[in-house]
Amino acid sequence: MEDVLVVKNLKTQFFIYEGVVKALEDVSFSVGKGEVLGIVGETGCGKSVTAYSITRLIPDPPGRIVGGEVKLGNLDLMRNIKDEARFIQKKRIKIKHNYKVIRNNELFFNTIRGKYISMIFQEPMAALNPVYTVEDQIAETLLLHNRTRLLKIMKSASNHLSELERWKDGGDIDIFDDELGEEIDKIKKTARGAESIKFHQDLLIEGARGFSKKMQKYEEMLKKSIERDELEDRLLTDPNPATQQEIIKRLAKESKKINLIKMSKQMKRNKKDPLLIEARRESFSLLESVDIPNPRGVLKSYPHELSGGMLQRVTISIALANNPKVLIADEPTTALDVTVQAQILKLLRDLQDAIGTSIILITHDLGVIAETCNRVAVMYAGNIVEMAEVKELFRNPKHPYTIGLLQSIPRVDDPNKTLKTIPGNVPNLINPPQGCRFHPRCPFVFDRCRVEKPVSIEVSKGHTVECHLFSGKVNAE
């Protein structure tokens, strides 16, 4: 399986009053194409920090990614992380930021986030802006990252205006072989009822008219946007770091030129702007694809008017708007009720089947993991202690922590199971235990655990464990 995202030795620390919190300690994993990787662990084990580190959303100060590699295609997202800041060792560690590098990285990451990697958060209410309508917020991400597609559809629609009008009048439509054809196929498949199809038709025709009126301007825009897309794609595929550097510089320069606020204001004024109309149609179609009843009403509503489950559907539609390579879902169902959780998990699975995005699902609920994921990584105190296929992990857990975790879950389906507990508490990561970080709570602890940090060992195919119990066996074999 082709790996979409490879994380190697990721190390994140938080510099706070009490000391340095070693939140992530050499975290490594990879996500295959179309795979759902679950990351499970308790509070403070670093699962969310992992997600935020990958997308560079760690608040700084106090957090900093200290080292490691995150490869998206051929591009290392952390390539100049060490240039961003210097550490001065005094009584407390002082950080000297290099703001120029940070600003440039930020500009470059704006092209990655939302387009190649997107995120769903635990609190959908907090993830959406309360002063904008749902439509504005979905359209924003489309306008930012997906202009090429929107313009292509509009262009094709303006070429086929007469056919579209015939379609609207009740006639049938021939399938075109470009973007518009695909889109019409999709509309026919996903649209619910005649009213929904009419909405699509109206907007397509209106947009096409707008496009043909100022053909030249939009053609120009399309050309530029295609160029930019090509640049971005080259960035991910080109193996040469020097070329990457150059492309990043060019992208950053262009990003500075685009004034998003100005752009959106201009477009708002020009209600007939085909880009805006198409973004609205696309938002509508996205909401339909996440099974929202009455998508037209939802488009016009503000986040506080919707329920938690509905909002999470909206954030999912935003996250998937640009067909990202990786979707990171950080506890997407924790704030929801079980019946709604079941809906959302079903939706995520269906969408994943349909568009093939890789998903990193972060949760503390092993039940959710068991039902949704292909592979699982178990985290403890900033380390991935065990990683395996989901069936293998549940059938044959190896790490003492995983075993303890599985035994401590109350089960609905098994009344006679006695709950076992893992003694002790999660360690303080400012002064984590020496050697294996789990050793103070481990029932199988022996001397080596207290001094030496275990390395990852493959016990069977695709099943790795960080535990000294198994290193001995492998050595003996």
Partner 1 sequence: MTANANSASSNLARALRTKFQSFAKTFYFYTRSPIATIGLIIVLFYVLVAIFGPIVLGGNPWRMTQYLSYHGQYIYNIPQPPSRYFPFGTTFEGYDIFNGVVKAARIDLMVAAIVVLSGALIGTFLGSIAGYKGGLTGEVIMRVTDIFLSIPSLVLAIAFLVIFSRTLNVMVLALIVIWWPTYTRIVRGQVLSVRELKYVEASVAAGSSSIRTVLKHIIPNSIYPIFVQVSLDFGNVILTMAALFFLGVGFAGYWTPEWGNIISIATTFSSGIPAITHYWWTVVIPALAILILVVSLNLMGDGLRDVTDPRLRR
Partner 2 sequence: MSKVLIDAVGLRKYFPIKGGVTGRTLGYVYAVDDVNIKIYKGETVGLVGESGCGKTTLGRVLLDLAEPTAGVLFYNPEDSVSSKVSELYKNLKTNKPSELKKEEKKLVEEAKKADVYRNKKRNREFRKKVQIVFQDPVSSLDPRMLIKDIIAEPILINGIPTEDGKRKKIKGDELLNYIREMIGEMGLNEDHLFRFPHEFSGGQRQRIAIARAISIRPEFLVLDEPTSALDVSVQAQILSLLEHLQQKYEMTYLFITHNLAVIRAVSDRVIVMYLGKVVEVSRTDDLFENPIHPYTQALLSAIPVPDPERKRNIVVLSGDVPSPANPPAGCRFHTRCRFAEEICTKEEPKLEEIKEGHTAACHFAREIISGQKKPAPAPTFST
Kindly list the residues in this chain that would bind partner 1 in the complex (CB under 8 A).
16-17, 61-62
Cβ neighbours, 10 Å, residue 291: 17
Q: How near is the Cβ of 87 to partner 1 at its closest, in Å?
A: 16
CB 271 within 8 A of CB 291: no
Which residue, 44 or 63, has its beta carbon nearer to partner 1?
63
Q: How near is the Cβ of 304 to partner 2 at its closest, in Å?
A: 13
DSSP one-letter string for 402-446: HHHHHHTS--SS-TTPPPP---S-PPPSSSPPSSSTTGGG-TT--
**Binder among 345, 359, 429, 469 for partner 2 (CB under 8 A):** 345
Whole-angstrom distance, CA of residue 374 vs CA of residue 361: 10
Q: How near is the Cβ of 350 to partner 2 at its closest, in Å?
A: 9
* Token pair 């399986």: residue: 1
**Binder among 98, 237, 259, 307 for partner 2 (CB under 8 A):** 307
Q: Which does 2 bind (CB under 5 to 8 A by kind): partner 2, partner 1, none?
A: none
Which residue, 16 or 263, has its beta carbon nearer to partner 1?
16
**Binder among 404, 449, 469, 471 for partner 2 (CB under 8 A):** 404
Using a 10 angstrom Cβ sphere, with 0-12 exposed, 13-18 middle and 19 or more buried, the burial of residue 371 is: middle
* Residue 324 DSSP code: -
Whole-angstrom distance, CA of residue 139 vs CA of residue 116: 17
Q: Which residues pair with 12 in a beta bridge?
A: 24, 65
DSSP one-letter string for 216-241: HHHHHHHHHHHHHHHHHHHHHH---H
Which residue, 43 or 89, has its beta carbon nearer to partner 2?
43
Which residue, 161 or 406, has its beta carbon nearer to partner 2?
406
Smallest CA-to-CA distance from 298 within 282, 280, 284 is with 284
Which residue, 61 or 356, has its beta carbon nearer to partner 1?
61
Which residue, 17 or 412, has its beta carbon nearer to partner 1?
17
Whole-angstrom distance, CA of residue 241 vs CA of residue 292: 44
Per-residue mark of binding to partner 2, 406-425 (x: CB under 8 A): x-xxxxxx-x-x-xxxxx-x
Q: How near is the Cβ of 451 to partner 1 at its closest, in Å?
A: 31
Which residue, 206 or 386, has its beta carbon nearer to partner 2?
386
Whole-angstrom distance, CA of residue 215 vs CA of residue 155: 8
Residue 125 engages partner 2 in binding (rule: CB under 8 A): no
* Token pair 């960035």: residue: 235
Q: Which does 382 bind (CB under 5 to 8 A by kind): partner 1, partner 2, none?
A: none
Q: How near is the Cβ of 14 to partner 1 at its closest, in Å?
A: 10
Residues near partner 2, by CB under 8 A? 42-44, 293, 307-310, 337-343, 345-346, 364-371, 390-391, 394-395, 404-406, 408-413, 415, 417, 419-423, 425-426
